[in-house]
Amino acid sequence: MRNYVICPYDKVKDYFPEYQRMMSSLHSGLVAKAQADWAPKTFGGMAPNSAQFGETTIIPGLFRNDAQTAAATTTAMATWNQWLGTTGNRVIMSGANTGQIYEDYKIGLAGIAFLDKSINISEVKFQISDRKIGRINIEEAFAYENPAVIFEDGLILDEETGFDLYAYVLSTGYQKIMPIGFQLNRVPNKLMTTNTGAALT
């Protein structure tokens, strides 16, 4: 049995009926890890107080995009839409903190979605710290509108842990590549008082 499924993003529940179980398990595991690491703070959901940690969708500002220029290697993403300027194999997304996820954030990664009708990528692979996730050929996704790769068991991107998403880029152009899952935030004000689209630190 493979440990992922490729399907249209809006049909995940149809193609992968265990999706809800996987998401619940990933969420529970991530919250338990945060409670242990960030004690005495407790889980406060979407509206935490100062004694709690909070939850949001995964924010682009925790990542930097296709590192082709000096500016790109130090600039956090404001949106999932990015320019792929050269073809071939390379890192197209990594942690914003010089390749790592910033301190005070934890991410539950359930998969990735390609939010375009035209896909410019044929393969992806991940590296989380020293753990390498093998190559996944996504050419079958070319037949789908807004395809997604969903893991049977989610992955945890811990704070201060390296993250790299590699891809084989077939053609240049804009591509919307969005991690699917959720993130936990130890310091609520980093999400509640900063401007939308701003980088996170």
pLDDT tens for each residue of 79-100: 999 888 889 998 999 999 988 9
Tell me what the pLDDT averaged over the chain comes to. Answer: 89
Single pTM value for the model? 0.90
**Distance in angstroms (rounded) separating the CA atoms of residues 177 and 63:** 12
Q: What is the pLDDT of residue 1?
A: 32
Q: Where are the domains of the chain?
A: 4-189
The answer to whether 170 and 122 are in contact (CB under 8 A) is: yes
Q: Provide the 8-state DSSP code for 143.
A: G
pLDDT level of residue 67 (50, 70, 90 thresholds): low
pLDDT level of residue 70 (50, 70, 90 thresholds): very low
Three-state DSSP at 24 gives: helix
The answer to whether 173 and 83 are in contact (CB under 8 A) is: yes
pLDDT greater than 60 at residue 105 = yes
Which whole number is the average pLDDT over 153-159? 94
**Distance in angstroms (rounded) separating the CA atoms of residues 36 and 53:** 12
Least trusted range by pLDDT, from 94-108, 133-147, 163-177: 133-147
Q: Which tokens is 140 given? A: 């079958």
Phi/psi-derived region of residue 40, left when phi > 0, alpha when psi is between -120 and 50, beta in every other case: alpha
pLDDT tens digit string along 6-59?
888 888 888 788 888 999 999 999 999 999 999 999 999 999 998 999 999 999
Question: What is the helix (H) or strand (E) element at residue 169, kind and residue range?
Answer: strand 163-169
Q: Provide the 8-state DSSP code for 102.
A: P
Three-state DSSP at 29 gives: helix
Residues with Cβ within 8 Å of 60's Cβ and at least 6 positions away in sequence, in order, are: 76, 77, 78, 79, 80
Q: What is the pLDDT of residue 80?
A: 93
pLDDT greater than 80 at residue 72 = no
Taken as a whole, the chain contains a residue count of 201
In percent, how much of the chain has pLDDT > 90? 61
Please name the residue that has the structure tokens 């995964």: 58
121-128, strands of its sheet edge to edge: 63-64, 88-95, 163-169, 121-128, 131-137
Which whole number is the average pLDDT over 116-124? 91
Residues with Cβ within 8 Å of 61's Cβ and at least 6 positions away in sequence, in order, are: 76, 77, 78, 96, 197, 198, 199, 200
pLDDT tens digit string along 163-190?
999 999 999 999 999 999 999 999 988 8
Report cis status (omega within 30 of 0) of the bond before 40: yes
Q: Which tokens is 162 given? A: 């390296």
| Gyration radius of the chain's alpha carbons | 17
Higher pLDDT, 122 or 13: 122
The answer to whether 64 and 97 are in contact (CB under 8 A) is: no
